[in-house]
Structure 1
Amino acid sequence: MRATHRFFRTAAMTFDADTASVFQEDSVAHLTALINDNSDWIWEVDAAGRYTYCSARVTKLLGHTPDDMIGRTPFDFMPPAEAERVAQVFGAIAGAARPFAGLVNRNLHADGHVVVLETSGVPIFDAHGTLRGYRGIDRDISAVGERYLQLESVYATAPVALGTVDREGRFMLANQAMAGLFGEDAAGLQGRALAQLFTQGGQRMTQDFLLAEAGHPLPHHEFAWDGRWFFAEARPLADAVGRVIGLSVAWTDITRRKHAEQQLTAANQQLERYAQQDYLTGLYNRRYLDDRLAREIARALRNRQPLSLCMADVDFFKPYNDTQGHIAGDECLRAVASALAQGAVRPGDVVSRYGGEEFVVVLCGTDAEGALVVAERLRAAVAALQLPHAGSPFSHVTASVGVVTCQPGPRTAGGEAAPCTVPDLLRAADQALYAAKHQGRNRVAQQVLA
């Protein structure tokens, strides 16, 4: 009985060992078949990018046997320009020892036609954590891949800076124009945080995410950075259930346009100054005086503040012009204009050429007493020029000044408003000037509107 039991135990052990061996062989064969018959080509490369394993699928994809591939790199089977492009991208990936997916690339079949593959892989490390290589798959996407690569090329080489950032503000994708702004290549920019590269852009991105989550449109904007101007637009990216997972951004360089706008603005401002300026003296002209005086009268009435006007006229100017000539007459007017401008010392004072040899100075917030002081200073400033004038009893160029002051407010018991309009002030100033001339010239005469 014991012998029988030993026989059966021995037989059972022999059967189990044989069955396990057969099962193991079947499993290896089954796994090999799964790998070789898979629609994807499975591969492994060492740290130098050389193939150390290739599944049999490579023969159907590229027309080469696995033995043909071992020891060679993926770039050996690509057109030269494509090999350079993919090597640059894969170099950045391997340098960071990170997994990758969806790397689309062109390869040459053994018969010469182009095969478009989509490559994905994961890094392999040894026991010490050192990168030993990559293991991954290639899938034939030639049916749509060429179109994809064309679109990818358009994206990569677009003159507009394009990029995609995730919810943490890291670049998931960027074209050459975007990467160039940060001194990087497109692959090197992936995974970098926008806020660390460009603080203002990171702040704007945070605002855009908040708006996108609330369902609001994202407004475009312009910004200046590193000596250039950009027009920025952003659009939210959503997943299948509508959650915002990132932003697609486009920055267009508008530096030339901005410079043109600035030049146009400066030119318009210059034209405006020319429209307001007297061509001979550089002072404000009559047109500007009328407009400015109307605004100052309105402000004086609104604030119930006094407003004064000085009208100056060069004495005996016609004889000066007749004897010295028109060129000398122009020089005289320029000198008088400069003296009057220096005499009106407050920033708010307005000095203009009224016409011919007449000038008007608007003194905002100045009462009659203060205006009289300014008028005398203006008269003295002209006399101090000591410009010789043989046709004048003073032997040099002088000016007479008429002063008028308007004190806003009712002037009658019935509340009738004081006559404080542009014509009123100019007429009263002219009358005061006439009085100064009638009194002997080279003097100041005053009139008050109450």
Structure 2
Amino acid sequence: MNDGKRQSDLPDVDEKHLLDLLHHNSDWVWEVDAQGRYTWVSGVVHDLLGYEPGYVIGRTPFDFMPPGEAERVAGAFGEIVSQQRAFSGLVNRNMRADGQIVVLETSGIPLFNDRGELTGYRGIDRNISNLGERVLQLETIYDTTPVALCMLDLDGRLVMSNKAMNGLLNISPEEAAGSLLGHLMPDVWQQFQDDFFLVESGVIIPGREIIWRDRCFDTQPVALYNASNRVVGLSVTWVDITARREAEQKLASANQVLQQYAQRDHLTGLYNRRYMDERLMNEINQAVEDGFPLSVCLADIDYFKRYNDNYGHQSGDNCLRAVAKALVSSRRRPEDNVSRYGGEEFLVILPRTDQAQALAEAERLRENINALMLPHVASPTHYLTISIGVATLYACESLSPDTPLHMIASGLIHQADTALYAAKNRGRNQVVAMPENAS
């Protein structure tokens, strides 16, 4: 002994005094056999449950619990017995003889015979009704919430996990207890390891989206601290946002389709005039900033009304599609934009292109349409042709900085339209640029 006295020097504690200590303690002391039946109980059981010790002997702890609670605790105790280990802090509801509920905290140690066989358990029950009911409610909420929850220690062990989390991992509660997340989710554990480093660096842990087994989860880790304010783990919520992400993707696809409808001409598939107006102003702004010329070609199908009158509107639509396809396939560069300006007119925007280059490009477009050799009996050439007007904006031109872009664009289109009108007056199937003396 620490005081130096030998065991034989200490006064004997008689059995009556020992029993008096057990029967009048604040804790209920008990023993059960390997089947969980009480073999000895202290008199405190009467204070806690309202039953005499003799009534309790031979019964199990689960005989004094409400049915649902008995099943829950029996499952937890069965796991403890299978491992033949000590336990503590097992919170459980019990029904007193008068029908009232009392909440107990149970702890125990295993008992073995000389052959090392488990013969039962010895332990104590403590009344924690004032706090226990609240604890049980919180545990129930934690375990049954549809959001997956878990607690990880610094090594990545699952200290706690609720039903939703076990379902996410596809493991049983018994398998989850003490499992290493690094074994279950190696890639995910690496990210949480990074979170521990962030916490130690004083950085707030960010939430992140994690893909796991074709499901998308929004995870929110929160650092856990001990009494010494040291990080001891993480509490992590896993919200399944798969349905939301799928809905967002569908919405994005729908918006993309709507955007295409808003920008595209439904007949030819080319960009429409609305999009062309925005694109042209952007190109003008870029041309002015970079100091490069910008050209536009306004093309019109010759004698198109006659074509419709002779072949019908369905053939007229097919003709527009054929011309649109030919103009797009004739582009030299991806940035050269082709749009349907309206009716049988098409606009081609040529960035970084001077008038001479634009005239050459327009002539090539005209020749490619001629090469289609689409029959047009009402045309002097007896096949489909186009006329093109070209206009060029030079950055060196005196443009007032206060001039709105839409006015500059309007002026450029007006010049191209004037050139197109001149091409029509000169016999069609040709290219004209305005101003004709530009260099």
| TM-score normalised by the chain length of structure 1 | 0.78
Show CA shifts across 1:203-234 (max 9, x none). 44334434444555444444433333333333
Does 2:279 correspond to 1:292?
yes
Contact 1:315–1:400, Cα closer than 8 Å, also in 2: yes
From 196, 207, 228, the equivalent of 1:209 is: 196
User: Structure 1 288/47 Cα, relative in aligned 2: closer, same or farther at 3 Å?
Assistant: farther
Q: Could you tell me whether the CA contact under 8 Å between 1:232 and 1:251 is conserved in 2? A: yes
In 2 relative to 1, CA 22–332 (structure 1 residues): closer, same or farther, beyond 3 Å?
Answer: closer
CA drift at 1:411 = 6.9
Change (3 A) 1:42 1:397: farther
Structure 1: which amino acid aligns with 2:211? A
Residues of 1 paired with 2:114 and 2:392: CA distance?
Answer: 97
Q: 1:92 to 1:329 in 2, by over 3 A?
A: farther
Cα distance 1:309–1:254, how it changes in 2: closer, same or farther (>3 A)?
same
What's the offset of the Cα at 1:248?
2.6
Which string of whole-angstrom CA distances, capped at 9 and with x for unpartnered residues, describes residues 368-402 of structure 1? 67655654453344334443322112223222234
Aligned counterparts, 1:348-387, within 5 A? 348-365=335-352, 371=358, 374-387=361-374
Deviation at 1:153, TM superposition (A): 1.7
Q: Partner of 2:227 in structure 1?
A: 240
1:167 matches 2:154: yes
CA gap of 1:407–1:196, structure 2 versus 1, over 3 A, is farther
1:20-419 correspondence to structure 2 within 5 Å: 26=13, 28-45=15-32, 48-51=35-38, 53-64=40-51, 72-95=59-82, 99-123=86-110, 134-186=121-173, 188-304=175-291, 307-344=294-331, 346-365=333-352, 371=358, 374-404=361-391, 408=395, 410=396
Moved more, 159-168 or 313-322: 159-168
| TM superposition shift of 1:363 | 3.4
Q: Check conservation: 1:92, 1:188, Cα contact below 8 A.
A: no
The CA distance in 2 between the partners of 1:130 and 1:329, in whole Å, is: 97
Asked if 2 retains the 8 angstrom alpha-carbon contact of 1:218 and 1:234, the reply is yes
Q: Which runs of 5+ in 2 are unaligned?
A: 1-6, 399-404
Q: Residues 390-417 of structure 1, C-alpha deviation per residue, up to 9 Å, x if partnerless?
A: 2112223222234455565x479xxxxx
1:359 Cα shift? Answer: 0.6
The separation in 1 between residues aligned to 2:205 and 2:282, in whole angstroms, is 42
| 1:358 to partner: Cα distance | 0.8
| Superposed CA RMSD | 3.8
CA contact (8 A) 1:238 1:245 kept: yes
CA distance in 1, matches of 2:75, 2:259: 56
* Mapped partners of 2:382, 2:116: distance in 1: 102
Kept after mapping to 2: 8 A contact 1:221/1:231: yes
Q: Deviations over 1:228-274 (max 9, x none)?
A: 33333333333334333333322222333333333333333322222
Identity of aligned residues (%): 52
Residue aligning to 1:16: none
Partner of 1:283: helix, strand, or coil?
Answer: coil
Q: Is the 8 A contact 1:120 1:137 kept in 2?
A: yes
SS in 1 for 2:222: strand
1:316 CA drift (Å): 0.6
Give distance in 2, aligned partners of 1:422 and 1:103. 80
Q: Quote the offset at 1:313 in angstroms.
A: 1.2
Distance 2:363 2:434 in 1: 14
| Aligned-partner residue type, residue 76 of structure 2 | V
Kept in 2, the 8 Å contact 1:343–1:374? The answer is no
1:348 alignment partner, SS class: coil
Quickly say closer, same or farther: Cα 1:200–1:100, change in 2 above 3 A.
farther
Range with greater deviation from structure 2 (60-69 or 172-181): 60-69
Give SS of 2:229's match.
coil
**Is 169-178 or 419-428 further displaced after alignment?**
419-428
Label 1:144 to 1:369 Cα distance change in 2 as closer, same or farther (>3 A).
Answer: same
Q: TM-score, normalised by structure 2?
A: 0.80
Matching residue's letter, 2:101: V
- Partners of 1:370 and 1:47 lie apart in 2 by 99
Shift of 1:353: 0.6
Per the TM alignment, residue 292 of structure 1 is displaced from its structure 2 partner at its CA by 1.2
Aligned length: 425
